[in-house]
Copies of this chain bind each other. A is one copy, B any other.
Amino acid sequence: MLLRHTPEEISLRQALTINPAKTCQPIGAMYAALGLHGCLPHSHGSQGCCAYHRSTLTRHYKEPISAGTSSFTEGASVFGGQANLLQAIENIFTVYEPEVVAVHTTCLSETIGDDLPQIIDKAGKEGKIPSGRQVIYANTPSYVGSHVTGFANMVKGMARLAESTGHKNGKVNVIPGWVEPADMEEIKRLAALVGAPIILFPDTSGILNGPLSGEFKMFPEGGVTISQLKSAGDSVGTLALGEWCSAEAARYLDANNKVPCRILDIPIGLKATDRFVDALRIISGVSVPEEVNHERGQLVDMISDMHQYFYHQKVALAGDPDQLIAMTEFLVSIDMWPTHLVTGTPGKAFEQRIRDLTAELPYEVNVKAEQSADLFLLHQWIKKEPVDLLIGNTYLKYIARDEDIPLVRWGFPILDRVGHQYFPTVGYKGGLRLLEKVLTALLDRKDRDDPEQSFELVM
C-alpha cells in the first residue's frame, strides 16, 4: 500500500497536518499575476519559495513559468529585504522588460515586516521603475489562509489599479476566481455569446496554455491589460465568481470606485452557470441567444441520458472552497451524493454552505475546512464510509490506488494528466466535460468489474 500507515481510526490532531489539502498564499498570488498581460510575478523572499511555486505551476501547466525572487540571504532576513527588492526591480525592468511586476510577500518578508508600498514607492522615486511601467503588490503571509487567500489578495492588488473617470464604460467586471486558462476563455466566450461586454481579471488564457511555435515568449499575448484594469473603475458592476477567490477585490471596487458588485458561485454545473448567464443578461439588458439555450439543453440532455449511471453514487472531494461549493451543487443537482469533503482553506461558512447544499441527502456529509482538514482525514473517512468516486487533485491518486476507487482529476494541482489547460469545466460545455469524465470513470470501473454475464455492450 502506498499509504500503508493511515489507520481507519480517527484520532484528534491539533498540531500535525498530514497530506495537506492546501498550500501557501504566494503561489496563488503568482498564478493570479500571470493573468495580467506583460506581468512578471516577483516573490519577495528566499529563492526557494519562487523555485517551488514555479515548479508546481510548471508541472500543472507544462508551460514555462517566469518569476523573479528577492533571493534573501541571512543578512537580508536580519536587516530587511528592501535592498534586495530595489535591486530586483531594477534588474527585472532592465533585463526582462515587463510592463508590470507583481510583487508578493512570503512568510519570511512578512515576519520581518518589510513594507512593500514603501519600498515600491522608493523604487519609483529612485527611477527604478521605467515610466509607463507598473509595480503592483499583495501581502501574502504563508501562515494565513492558503493559496486561495494569496490568489484573492493579488486579485485585489489588481483592483487597486482601477480608476474612476466618472464616465461608465458600459462593461461588467467579471472576476473568474481560480479557474483554468481554458475556463477563463470559456467565460469570455459565454459572455460574448450573451452579448455582455466584460472586463475579465485575472485572465490566464493564452498565457498558460500557449502554443509550441519555435519562439519563447516570456510575456505571451493574452492577460488583462493595465488599461483594462484602470477602466474597471468605470464598469457598471462587478460579478465576483467565488466568495473566497474573488469577493475581496469586488468589494474593494465597490467601496473605492462605487462599482456595485454581486458575489456568485463559479459557473460550474448547470445551476451556477444559469445564475451567471442570467446575471449577465439582466445587467447588460440583452436577451440570451438560442445558441446558449442550445448548449444548456445539451447539458440537460446528457444528464437525463446517463442519469442511471451516476444516480446516488457517493463521491469524496478535496479542493478549494469556491470550486467545491460549485461542484457540490452540480453533483447534488444530478442526484449524486457528495459524501466527504475537505479543504485546507479555513472557513466555517464553507462548511455551512456545503451542509445547506447537501441537506436533502439521507445522511449528513463529512465536511471540514481547517488545518486538520487534510487528505489524511479524507482517507480515514473513506475507509470508514467507502465512496464510488474521488474528485480532486493529483495527490488523491494515492488514495485512489490504495482503496481502488476511480479518480476524476480536477482542481489544483494536476501534475500527471493533461487536458485541463485546454478544455473548460465551467459553463455548459464544461458541465458536459465534467459529466463525461465522471461517466468514464464510473463506466470504466463497471466494465472492469461486471461479471461476464452482465458485461454490457450498450450503456
Contact = CB atoms under 8 A, between A and B. Distances in A.
Interface of A: 1-2, 59, 62, 206, 209-213, 221, 290, 293-298, 300-306, 394-395, 397-398, 401, 415-419, 422-423, 429, 432-433, 435-436, 439-440, 443-444, 447-448, 452, 455-459
A429 B304 CA distance: 27
Nearest to A458: B415
A24 to B, nearest CB: 19
Chain multiplicity (copies): 2
Contact of A416 (B293, B429, B443): B443
B455 A401 contact: yes
Which 10 pairs across A and B sit closest by C-beta, in order of nearness? Answer: A211-B297, A212-B301, A416-B459, A419-B436, A62-B305, A212-B300, A415-B458, A213-B297, A422-B432, A211-B298
A211 B59 contact: no
A146 to B, nearest CB: 20
A416 B429 CA distance: 20
Contacts of A1: 452
Contacts of A452: 1-2
Contact of A415 (B295, B432, B457): B457
B415 A459 contact: yes
A429 B394 CA distance: 24
A213 B305 contact: no
A192 to B, nearest CB: 14
19 contacts: A2-B455, A62-B302, A209-B298, A211-B294, A211-B296, A212-B300, A394-B458, A397-B457, A416-B447, A416-B458, A417-B439, A417-B459, A418-B435, A418-B436, A418-B439, A419-B440, A422-B429, A422-B432, A423-B436
Q: Which of A221, A294, A397, A401 has the most CB of B within 10 A?
A: A294
Given A2-B455, A300-B213, A301-B211, A206 B418 contact: no
A17 to B, nearest CB: 18
A147 to B, nearest CB: 18
A401 B298 contact: no
Given A294-B211, A298-B210, A416 B62 contact: no
Q: Which of A296, A422, A439, A456 has the most CB of B within 10 A?
A: A422
A416 B446 CA distance: 11
Contacts of A306: 62, 418
B395 A457 contact: yes
Given A206-B294, A296-B211, A305-B62, A417 B443 contact: yes
A382 B321 CA distance: 48
Contacts of A423: 423, 432-433, 436
Contacts of A213: 293, 297, 300
A443 B2 CA distance: 18
A207 to B, nearest CB: 12
A62 B303 CA distance: 11
A212 B306 CA distance: 13
Contacts of A401: 447-448, 455
Q: Which of A62, A212, A304, A443 has the most CB of B within 10 A?
A: A212
Given A436-B418, A459-B417, A297 B206 contact: no
A289 to B, nearest CB: 13
Q: Which of A301, A401, A455 has the most CB of B within 10 A?
A: A301
B439 A305 contact: no
A423 B447 CA distance: 23
A298 B2 contact: no
Contacts of A304: 212
B458 A59 contact: yes
A313 B63 CA distance: 25
Contacts of A297: 210-213
A125 B59 CA distance: 70
Given A59-B458, A416-B456, A417-B443, 17 more contacts: A2-B455, A62-B305, A210-B294, A210-B298, A211-B300, A221-B290, A302-B422, A394-B458, A398-B455, A401-B447, A401-B448, A416-B447, A416-B457, A417-B439, A419-B436, A423-B423, A423-B432
